Amino acid sequence: MLPPIFISKAEDITVKVGDTLYVTTPNVSKVTTGDRRILDVSQAHSDGSATYAPGAKVIGPGATTFSVYGGITNSVMYVVNVTAK
Selecting from 2.40.50.100, 2.60.40.2020, 3.20.20.140, 3.30.565.10, what CATH number does the domain 5-84 have? 2.60.40.2020
Within 8 A by CB and 6+ apart from 7, the residues are 13, 21, 22, 23, 24, 25, 55, 66, 68, 80
Residues 17-58 have pLDDT tens digits of 999 999 999 999 999 999 999 999 999 998 989 989 999 999
- Which residue type sits at 56? A
Return the closest-CA partner of residue 57 out of 76, 37, 73: 37
User: Residue 48 CB: number of other CB atoms within 10 A?
Assistant: 5
Distance CA 45, CA 19 (A): 20
Taking the model in full, what pTM does it have?
A: 0.92
